Amino acid sequence: MIISGVDEAGLGPLLGPYCASLISIEYKGQIKDPRKLCYAILREKPQDERLAVGDSKQIYSSGNIRQLEQTILSFFKLRFGEQPLSADDFFKSLLEGNTGDFLLKDSEPWHKTILEQKLPLTADKDEITGLSKKLRMQFEKKELFLKEWDLRLIRPEQFNELLKSSTNKATACQKILSPLLINGLFPKGKMVVDRQGGRRYYGEWLIDLYPGKLLTARQESSQLSLYQVEEAEVSFQVGADALCFETSLASMTAKYAREVYMSGFNLYWKSRIPKIKATAGYYTDGKRFIADLKTARELPGETSSLIRLK
């Protein structure tokens, strides 16, 4: 069986990208949460000599991405056989084949700074090497296979264009997530999408995504919207990033991708305005950051590639 998870990061900020990720894991042996199957290396919460896969809010704390980075780069080595040396390596590997994705060096000046960052940013490279080796051994022993790992990184100007061509933000996000939901559906498999907001009904969207497939709504409640797509199952679950291993890892991937982007973004502006305070890009502090750029006379004349529409 193949179980997929989908989650996103960065829907609310004023600055920086909107990111979404898909993780699909194939179970050829026992079908059980990998944190229980691979207890020797995986945990839900940070622990020494273990990799944390769980609610990203418990794994990541503002200004400290070590645990988040340790997990994501260990899985990167599992998937691609080696650690990324730079942000450029990381993004190119996960964005490969996606249309309209990264950017890069010849567009906005901060993109070059983002891509030139050396990885890991804060975690220990040798520690990741050891942890990834244990992870590989556990996955092979339990017959687990990381089958799909996709990332969508939507830059501010892309997000703005999608908003202009969509009826609302939810519709814009739906367009971004659609390729992930298509890639993550396997015969007789399961897919768990972290549900945002109060939306309950996804049937019309799924009919468009999977034309010609028989679709049945099994549950559409305040916590769970569950659909049968022939012999496969698709669910939209509130809090799925804390409940489903694959969705947790997808959430962490999206969060890490955004953090790497914002790290380079802040480095660039620090080189222009040494005293400027770094920003995570969220609305209130994002407005402060924009005001600081304006005061320093560094705010670009055209801001569509910098500031996202609300």
pLDDT digits (tens, 9 = 90+) for 238-268: 999 989 999 999 999 999 999 999 999 999 9
Give Cβ neighbours of residue 251 (< 8 Å, ≥ 6 apart): 5, 7, 8, 9, 21, 55, 56, 194, 241
pLDDT at 201: 95
Report if residue 302 sits inside a domain: no
Reference 120, options 74, 172, 155, 176; nearest CA is 74
Please determine, for residue 177, whether its predicted confidence score (pLDDT) is greater than 60.
Answer: yes
Residue 118 lies in a domain: yes
Is the residue at 293 inside a domain?
A: no
Range from 93-97, 225-229, 298-302 carrying the lowest mean pLDDT: 93-97
Q: How far is CA 224 from the centre of its chain?
A: 21
Longest dimension (CA), the chain: 60
Tell me the β-bridge partners of 190. 3, 233
Does some domain include residue 287? no
Per-residue pLDDT band for 56 (boundaries 50, 70, 90) equals confident
Structurally, the chain folds into a number of domains equal to 1
Model confidence pLDDT, tens digit, residues 97-153: 554 445 554 578 999 999 999 999 999 999 999 999 999 999 999 999 999 999 999
pLDDT (0 to 100) of residue 197: 74
The predicted structure's pLDDT at residue 170: 86
Q: Is residue 25 part of a domain?
A: yes
pTM over 0.85: yes
CATH of the domain at 130: 3.30.420.10
Residue 288 located in a structural domain? no
Enclosing domain of residue 219: 2-262
Provide the pLDDT confidence category of residue 199 given band limits of 50, 70 and 90. confident
Would residue 283 count as lying in a domain? no
**Amino acid, single-letter form, for residue 222:** S
133 to 38, 69, 126, 128: CA distances (angstroms):
13, 16, 11, 8
pLDDT at position 99 is 42
Give the model confidence (pLDDT) of 68-101 as tens digits.
Answer: 999 999 999 999 999 999 999 999 999 865 544 4
Mean pLDDT of the residues in the chain: 93
For residue 178, being part of any structural domain is answered with: yes
